[in-house]
């Protein structure tokens, strides 16, 4: 297995790590996790740890693609696993936030449904011998989601200091781009999806 694929697998391994850290019952275990106060805005140390792990995962996402292209190490596994790793990471974080009531559930449902539809499209394309790489709109979606997750973990800092709802705007923007990219994938593969024999 080449280096880009190892980085993709490493990103997948980080998912249960960040989940465990985020949902661990620290109080019940007798652990007091510090809450920082930034100009009146509360910021949990747990969130900062999760953000650091999430940042590492995002960096691996950048480097696995760069290395694969630069060294001509692009593989069918990489084209398949890389977008799945991205979806697993972002979807997991959004579900965690929604389960805690930090964000509304509707944009999360939109993004999850989009991913299910796109994966279905990919599966149909695969039966016809096609491997569908990530589109530019899909990359914009992933980038927007990553920024949104970082802002949620930062409790909308620094924008919260000026009462700017940037996190909320980014969340709905992510949902919109997610839906748009899903439509784009469907249009790209509609001949395969709608073919009748």
72 Cβ contact partners less than 8 Å away, ≥ 6 residues apart: none
Does the pTM surpass 0.85? The reply is yes
Give the pLDDT band of residue 197 (cuts 50, 70, 90).
low
Q: What is the mean pLDDT of residues 42-47?
A: 94
What average pLDDT does the structure give for the chain?
A: 87
Q: What is the pLDDT of residue 131?
A: 61
Q: Would you tell me how many other CB atoms lie within 10 Å of the CB of residue 85?
A: 23
pLDDT at 181 over 60: yes
Q: What is the pLDDT of residue 17?
A: 95
Q: What is the pLDDT of residue 34?
A: 92
Higher-confidence position of 147 and 65: 147
pLDDT digits (tens, 9 = 90+) for 18-40: 999 999 999 899 999 999 999 89
123 Cβ contact partners less than 8 Å away, ≥ 6 residues apart: none
pLDDT at 13 over 90: yes
Q: What is the pLDDT of residue 129?
A: 67
Q: What is the mean pLDDT of residues 99-128?
A: 88
Q: Which CATH superfamily is domain 3-193 in?
A: CDP-alcohol phosphotransferase transmembrane (TM) domain (1.20.120.1760)
Q: What is the mean pLDDT of residues 63-92?
A: 81
Calculate the alpha carbon distances from 39 to 28, 55, 102, 123, 159 in Å: 29, 24, 20, 49, 12
């Amino acid at each position: 297995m080449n280096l880009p694929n190892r980085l993709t697998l490493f990103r997948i391994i980080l998912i249960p790590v960040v989940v465990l850290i985020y949902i661990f019952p620290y109080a019940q275990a007798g652990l007091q996790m510090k809450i920082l106060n930034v100009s009146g805005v509360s910021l949990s140390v747990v969130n900062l740890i999760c953000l650091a792990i999430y940042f590492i995962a995002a960096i691996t996402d950048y480097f696995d693609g760069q290395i694969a292209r630069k060294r001509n190490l692009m593989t069918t596994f990489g084209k398949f696993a890389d977008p799945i790793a991205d979806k697993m990471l972002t979807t997991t974080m959004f579900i965690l936030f929604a389960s805690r009531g930090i964000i509304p559930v509707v944009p999360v449902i939109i993004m999850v449904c989009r991913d299910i539809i796109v994966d279905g499209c990919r599966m149909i394309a695969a039966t016809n011998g096609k491997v569908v790489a990530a589109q530019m709109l899909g990359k914009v979606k992933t980038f927007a989601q990553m920024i949104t997750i970082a802002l949620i973990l930062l409790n909308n800092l620094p924008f919260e200091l000026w009462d700017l709802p940037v996190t909320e705007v980014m969340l709905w923007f992510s949902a919109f781009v997610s839906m748009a990219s899903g439509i784009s994938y469907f249009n790209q593969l509609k001949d395969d999806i709608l073919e009748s024999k």
